[in-house]
Amino acid sequence: MIKYRKYGILIILTSFSGFVQAQTDVDLTKQTVDTNESASHIWFLASDELKGRDTGSPEIDIAASYIAAQFRKYGVLPVTGDSGYYQAVPLEATKPPSQGTLHAGDFSFTIGENLVALQATNITAEHPVLFLEFAMPEELTRENVKGKIIIAKAGKSGERNPRSFFSLSRDKRKAAKENGAVALVELYNSTAFPWSMLLNFLNREQLRLAGNDNETDQDNFGHLWVYDPGNAFYAYLSDNKKIAARIGLTSKERTAVKATNVIGMVEGTDPELKNEYILLSAHYDHIGYKTGTHGEDSIYNGARDNAIGVAAILSAAQGFGKYPPKRSVIFLACTGEEKGLLGSKWFAENPPVALHKIVYNLNIDGGGYNDVTKVSIVGLHRTTAEKHLISAVHDFGLEPIADPAPEQNLFDRSDNVSFAAKGIPAPTFSTGFTSFDEEIMKYYHQVTDEAESLDYDYLAKYFLSYVLAARRIANMEETPFWTKGDKYEEAGRKLYELNK
Ligand SMILES: [Zn+2]
């Protein structure tokens, strides 16, 4: 009887303390985050005055200044040294060559029409052609390519996916260049990715990290893709192997572009765990505005993509500034996501603390939502923090779902992958979407993605879920990691030296 009573009390105490604990996290999150203030961040960042926060624009710097000011207000400290909250991200813009032509036999190609230049230099000359079916790197090493223009199909035998053409193309270029060829011309006619789209994608001003590739125009090499519908040029070359081609090409124009990541930190409370960092990231850039429009809305405000995400990390900054968790937390507002994850790549190469000290990244990004009962977490099941992501979303009355469009490979398309590729477990929190339907496409990268079109009751729960999930992960007893067999598990083992 006595024993029984003791047990009874014990059970009551245990469940009571569990209850108090569970309540505390949720209550603490509600008490420390002002969701009206979270919403106000969206209204500011997505305002017309910021003109769509294009990377390299003057307006995105106003957004950076605003984010840094919020960090200061919330008691979040700078980690990047003398420059305060700012991390300079050196970029360069490259413009397509002003001239580009190729003539061979009866065939002519012109830049912007049926020719794009992947790499360009000033060449105006005629050279003998070496025609190969695919010009694989080993062939280019074997054959005498010196002083020749190599012409071959893009891709390789049996490969139909144009995405893979790009990486192959780099290897071919390297081999052709190293062995003394003048130029590499690849013939393209994939319908999986139509030429017109390829042209739009490649024949425009592009931004990239400065000094991040070892190939420059000083290499004196031309790398062209030309459109060859129906393999007509290919057939001609097969019949006329001993011809010469004339190239007229100018180099790409490059200009330096200034861009900035905004970074803040809250130190953890646990004497041991504070040496581990949780990284909360959201990109704050968007795609700017259309020029040449009259009267109509021309600004891509990027409320969903990704003012919401920035508002969420600022909500976490507000909460953790008041009441820090056990682990330290870094807040990162990234630039250049829309231009190819540039800010996050730069951060991953130039982290303000050693990368292996960053044990988790909870990125937040999204193109929109079509279900306000849900939170979509891309990579939900891929880390050992899964249960905390799920419980945090449940605790605010929402339903977590994993990546609803696996075929889109979203995990590898936002800033989280810059960290995942280094080995850091890194899912992405997104507003509830169940498929890429009309409701999503109505706003995704459209001028309609504005602050007034959002559901703020839903967003309040969304912000609180994110902050609570981040807090629970920052307080986890064991260090979170990839689940077994994940694509990035081995990178993680290497980063954290778990194989030793
Ligand atoms: Zn985005």
pLDDT (tens digit, 9 = 90+) per residue, 54-92? 999 999 999 999 999 999 999 999 997 767 999 999 999
Distance 122 CA to ligand 1 centre (A): 37
- What per-residue confidence (pLDDT) applies to 4? 43
Of 298, 370, 309, nearest in space to 343 by CA: 309
- What per-residue confidence (pLDDT) applies to 486? 97
Rounded (10°) angle between helices 58-73 and 308-322: 20
| pLDDT, mean of residues 266-288 | 98
Distance 130 CA to ligand 1 centre (A): 44
Q: What is the DSSP letter of 303?
A: I
- What per-residue confidence (pLDDT) applies to 24? 82
Distance 305 CA to ligand 1 centre (A): 5
Residue 10 above 50 pLDDT? no
Distance 367 CA to ligand 1 centre (A): 6
Which secondary structure element, helix H or strand E, spans residue 186, and what is its range?
strand 183-188
Cis omega (within 30 of 0) for bond into 306: yes
pLDDT band of 192, cuts 50, 70, 90: confident
Ramachandran sector of residue 230 (left: φ over 0; alpha: ψ -120 to 50; beta: rest): left
**Residue 74: alpha-carbon gap to chain centroid:** 27
Distance 348 CA to ligand 1 centre (A): 18
Distance 133 CA to ligand 1 centre (A): 40
What would the pLDDT profile of 107-137 be if each residue is shown by its tens digit? 999 999 999 999 898 999 999 999 999 999 9
Distance 308 CA to ligand 1 centre (A): 10
pLDDT band of 201, cuts 50, 70, 90: confident
Distance 405 CA to ligand 1 centre (A): 16
Distance 102 CA to ligand 1 centre (A): 38
Residue 261 above 80 pLDDT? yes
What would the pLDDT profile of 214-226 be if each residue is shown by its tens digit? 555 456 899 999 9
Q: How many CB atoms lie within 10 A of CB 140?
A: 24
pLDDT band of 23, cuts 50, 70, 90: low
pLDDT band of 15, cuts 50, 70, 90: very low
Distances (CA, A) of 36 to 43, 71, 283, 418: 11, 17, 21, 32
Tell me how far apart the alpha carbons of residues 363 and 264 are, in angstroms, rounded to a whole number: 15
**Residue 149: alpha-carbon gap to chain centroid:** 36
The sheet with strand 115-119 has its strands ordered as 107-110, 100-104, 244-249, 123-131, 149-153, 183-188, 222-227, 115-119
Distance 283 CA to ligand 1 centre (A): 7
Residue 12 above 70 pLDDT? no
Distances (CA, A) of 462 to 35, 165, 204, 312, 398: 10, 40, 37, 8, 8
Under 8 Å between Cβ of 37 and 31: no
Q: What is the DSSP letter of 446?
A: S
* Predicted TM-score (pTM) of this structure: 0.83
Residue 257 above 50 pLDDT? yes
Residue with tokens 């909360």: 280
Neighbours of ion ligand 1 (CB under 5 A): 305-306, 365
Of 43, 47, 51, nearest in space to 293 by CA: 51
Tell me how far apart the alpha carbons of residues 32 and 283 are, in angstroms, rounded to a whole number: 23
Q: Name, in order, each residue with C-beta under 8 angstroms of 47's C-beta and a sequence gap of 6 or more.
A: 301, 451
What would the pLDDT profile of 222-243 be if each residue is shown by its tens digit? 999 999 999 999 999 999 888 9
Residue 9 above 60 pLDDT? no
- What per-residue confidence (pLDDT) applies to 213? 57
- What per-residue confidence (pLDDT) applies to 212? 60
Q: What is the mean pLDDT of the chain?
A: 91
Residue 21 above 60 pLDDT? no
Distance 7 CA to ligand 1 centre (A): 53
- What per-residue confidence (pLDDT) applies to 159? 84
What would the pLDDT profile of 394-433 be if each residue is shown by its tens digit? 999 999 999 888 888 899 999 999 999 999 999 999 999 9
- What per-residue confidence (pLDDT) applies to 405? 84
Distance 79 CA to ligand 1 centre (A): 25
Residue 14 above 70 pLDDT? no
More confident residue, 214 or 457: 457
Kindly state the percentage of the chain with pLDDT values over 90: 80
Tell me how far apart the alpha carbons of residues 393 and 268 are, in angstroms, rounded to a whole number: 23
Distance 103 CA to ligand 1 centre (A): 42
Please state which of the ranges 154-163, 173-182, 313-322, 382-391 shows the lowest mean pLDDT: 154-163
Under 8 Å between Cβ of 231 and 290: no
Distance 339 CA to ligand 1 centre (A): 10
Domain annotation for the chain: domains and CATH numbers: 33-92+257-495 (3.40.630.10), 97-251 (3.50.30.30)
Distances (CA, A) of 334 to 53, 208, 363, 438: 12, 14, 10, 28
Distance 114 CA to ligand 1 centre (A): 31
pLDDT band of 180, cuts 50, 70, 90: very high
- What per-residue confidence (pLDDT) applies to 215? 54
